[in-house]
Amino acid sequence: MDRNRVWLALLMSVMVATLGGCESEEGRQARAAQAALGDDSAVTIADDGTCRVETTICRKISRKSGRPIGKGRQYTIAKKSSVYSLTEFSGLRQNRVYSVHLCWIRPDGKEMFRRYAEVELSGKDEGYVAEINWKRAEDLHYVKQETFPAEGLEFSLSSRFNIAAAKNREPGNYLFRVYLDRRLLVEEPFEVLAPQES
């Protein structure tokens, strides 16, 4: 068993111990099913049907295709460097508002920052539209609205964690968490490495 697998197994056991009391029974069942499949990148939950949430951590997201580039678990601090997340939600219901929190957690377990959105999928013409309302906890009147065509009852959200050298980020093991309707569905570990000596 390599070092990364040992670290991941330890992290998962700590996570289960610390989060088990807050997580719903449905969330615990989804996490158990995920572990049984050996799938650490997606979680399936029940929500009057089946909702699938898949998160990818990567070096960047292609502007042309919208797909992740440079997937991995380790990212090195550099002059210009970031870690991105791409979270895809599918199997949702139409005309229902979903609450989504995308959270970045530092090595000491404290939250660094989060993005919060309310998303609704509705039918339009012969397709669907995803209406995303980005909000801020510190400004109750702030709303940034985005509307995208959707191929089905699905949408995706991205977030960026800046690890440029000027930010003085602490090297170590970080987490990215996704909450849907305040339920923790995905927790992705990744490591930020110190700048390489030149």
* CA nearest to 89, candidates 105, 73, 101, 72: 101
The per-residue pLDDT of the chain, averaged, comes to 79
Query: Is the predicted pLDDT of residue 6 greater than 70, yes or no?
Result: no
Rg of the chain over all Cα atoms, to the nearest angstrom: 17
- The pLDDT value recorded for residue 50 is 60
- The pLDDT value recorded for residue 96 is 93
- The pLDDT value recorded for residue 140 is 79
- CATH number for region 41-193: 2.60.40.1930
Q: What is the pTM of this model?
A: 0.73
Query: Is the predicted pLDDT of residue 76 greater than 70, yes or no?
Result: yes
Higher pLDDT, 41 or 64: 64
- β-strands 154-162, 139-150: how paired? unpaired
**What are the pLDDT digits (tens) for 132-181?**
999 987 887 899 999 999 988 999 999 999 999 999 999 999 999 999 99
Query: Is the predicted pLDDT of residue 33 greater than 90, yes or no?
Result: no
Q: Render 5-41 in DSSP notation, one character per residue.
A: HHHHHHHHHHHHHHHTTTS-HHHHHHHHHHHHHT-SS
